[in-house]
């Protein structure tokens, strides 16, 4: 009898069995995974984006182990907490105040609570088809759900004070604030990464954040996935968003569980004034803070441009390999995080993404790639994450795997 529900602790980890065997990871290092089948795989799931440095980055692990040995849970303030905060805010511009937490979901939860107290309003808005964690208030309207569809004529979905907004739709922004002048905050996942890396249209995020501010609403950047993925900082800042609050996680800890709420001082002062509850036995624990300090030190030394370039080259090469087999393929996103679509044109909004998404195709591609020792997320809205550990050998293994998989898909299509 399996005592672990479904054999996994988080729904996103589900993988198809091959030859009746579940895939169980034995070890991960750099860009590679070793499975219970005795094979070595080049990995593109990479902890769902929880590292830019690759699995088990030695320069992060060493200080984390040291912090564990010095005591993982000292109850009271410790130096690493302050050091991690200073290090993090050196990358986040006006968002200079930090509270550490353990997961992105907690950070989003605290961001919503903060915005409600700061504005005295209760309604919060997030993008249809985005993902902002799994806590009650945000766990609806995700990619693939019926609410995410949001046809223009339909009533705006709302649940427990959370409203949905159509991503990349300028008119829907104007309509939203006309319909609801009392919004506390807008949560912006700057790239709709969780719906397959749909990129923001030029000026869209600025239009939304300007409109929010005009109406007295706060802007929360949810950077749990995109933070530190395109540069050593927030993607929203690259795109001109003036955020009041931001959430980060994943890449800041290189696989060690840690997240943070960042904010402008005048808003974060509410915590100093004890007007907002914050807690957490493990919030800001020493190993997590050691991971942040060591990770950011490493990220400062890495140049993102070559990674983005080689990731983009890989995307074009994979598309060409599919075209050589007569198969349509396109890609949305960036060199370090992207999605592949079984169509000639990548989606520009969620309606297009939902129309192209093909769960069967994604699963078949995943299985064909696994046969080639390439590990991918098996879902239609899944992403390919590349890191600084994806060296030439890993990139070649990826391309070779995709070429063979294209051949197999073409052969089974005929």
Q: Which residues bind ligand PLP (CB under 6 A)?
A: 48, 103-105, 108, 131-133, 189, 194, 222, 224-225, 249, 259
CB of 239 to ligand PLP, least distance (A): 15
CB of 105 to ligand PLP, least distance (A): 3
Write down the number of H helices and E strands in the chain.
Answer: 13, 15
Tokens of 11: 């729904």
Cα–Cα distance for residue pair 378/376, rounded to 1 Å: 6
Instruction: Check: CB of residue 321 under 8 Å from CB of residue 332.
Output: no
In the complex with ligand PLP, the residue whose CB is nearer, 197 or 259, is 259
In the complex with ligand PLP, the residue whose CB is nearer, 150 or 224, is 224
CB of 401 to ligand PLP, least distance (A): 25
Residue nearest to ligand PLP (CB): 104
In the complex with ligand PLP, the residue whose CB is nearer, 87 or 194, is 194
CB of 75 to ligand PLP, least distance (A): 24
In the complex with ligand PLP, the residue whose CB is nearer, 103 or 362, is 103
CB of 251 to ligand PLP, least distance (A): 11
Tokens of 83: 């050091």
Please return the burial class of 312, using the count of CB atoms within 10 Å of its CB with bins 0-12, 13-18 and 19+. Answer: middle
Strands 158-159 and 162-165: antiparallel
Beta strands in 95-199 (DSSP E): 97-101, 123-127, 158-159, 162-165, 183-188
Instruction: Check: CB of residue 131 under 8 Å from CB of residue 11.
Output: no
CB of 103 to ligand PLP, least distance (A): 4
In the complex with ligand PLP, the residue whose CB is nearer, 224 or 353, is 224
Tokens of 284: 């800001």
In the complex with ligand PLP, the residue whose CB is nearer, 225 or 267, is 225
In the complex with ligand PLP, the residue whose CB is nearer, 115 or 318, is 115
The helix or strand, by DSSP H or E, that contains position 45, with its residue range, turns out to be none
52: left (phi over 0), alpha (psi -120 to 50) or beta: alpha
Q: In degrees, to the nearest 5, what angle opens at C-alpha 130 toward C-alphas 250 and 242? A: 75
CB of 364 to ligand PLP, least distance (A): 24
């Amino acid at each position: 009898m399996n005592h672990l529900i479904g054999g996994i602790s988080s729904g996103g980890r589900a993988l198809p069995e091959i030859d009746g065997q579940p895939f169980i990871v034995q070890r991960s290092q750099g860009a590679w995974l070793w499975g219970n089948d005795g094979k070595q795989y080049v990995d593109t799931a990479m902890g769902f984006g929880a590292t830019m440095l690759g699995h088990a980055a030695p320069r992060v692990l060493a200080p984390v182990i040291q912090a564990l040995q010095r005591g993982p849970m000292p109850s009271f303030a410790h130096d690493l907490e302050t050091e991690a905060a200073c290090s993090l805010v050196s990358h986040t511009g006006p968002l200079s105040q930090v509270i550490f937490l353990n997961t992105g979901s907690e950070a989003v939860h605290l961001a919503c609570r903060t915005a409600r107290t700061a504005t005295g309003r209760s309604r919060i808005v997030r993008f249809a088809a985005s993902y902002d964690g799994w806590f009650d208030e945000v766990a609806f309207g995700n990619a693939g759900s019926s609410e995410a569809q949001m046809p223009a004529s339909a009533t705006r979905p709302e649940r427990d004070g959370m409203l949905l907004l159509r991503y990349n739709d300028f008119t829907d922004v104007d309509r939203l604030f006309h319909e609801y002048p009392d919004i506390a905050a807008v949560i912006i996942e700057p790239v709709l990464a969780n719906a397959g890396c749909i990129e923001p249209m030029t000026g869209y995020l600025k239009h939304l954040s300007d409109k929010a501010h005009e109406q007295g609403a706060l802007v929360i950047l949810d950077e749990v996935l995109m933070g530190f993925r395109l540069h050593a900082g927030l993607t929203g800042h690259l795109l001109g968003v003036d955020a009041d609050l931001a959430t980060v996680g994943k890449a800041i800890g290189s696989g060690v569980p840690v997240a943070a709420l960042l904010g402008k001082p005048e808003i974060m002062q509410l915590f100093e004034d004890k007007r907002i509850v914050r807690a957490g036995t493990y919030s800001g624990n020493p190993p997590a803070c050691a991971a942040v300090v060591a990770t950011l030190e490493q990220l400062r030394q890495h140049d993102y441009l070559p990674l983005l370039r080689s990731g983009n080259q890989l995307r074009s090469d994979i598309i060409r390999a599919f075209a050589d087999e007569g198969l349509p393929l396109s890609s949305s996103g960036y060199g370090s995080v992207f999605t592949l679509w079984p169509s000639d044109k990548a989606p520009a909004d969620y309606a297009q993404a939902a129309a192209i998404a093909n769960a069967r195709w994604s699963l078949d591609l995943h299985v064909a790639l696994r046969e080639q020792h390439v590990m991918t997320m098996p879902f239609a809205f899944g992403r390919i994450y590349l890191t600084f550990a994806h060296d030439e050998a890993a990139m070649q293994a990826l391309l070779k795997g995709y070429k063979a998989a294209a051949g197999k898909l073409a052969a089974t299509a005929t």
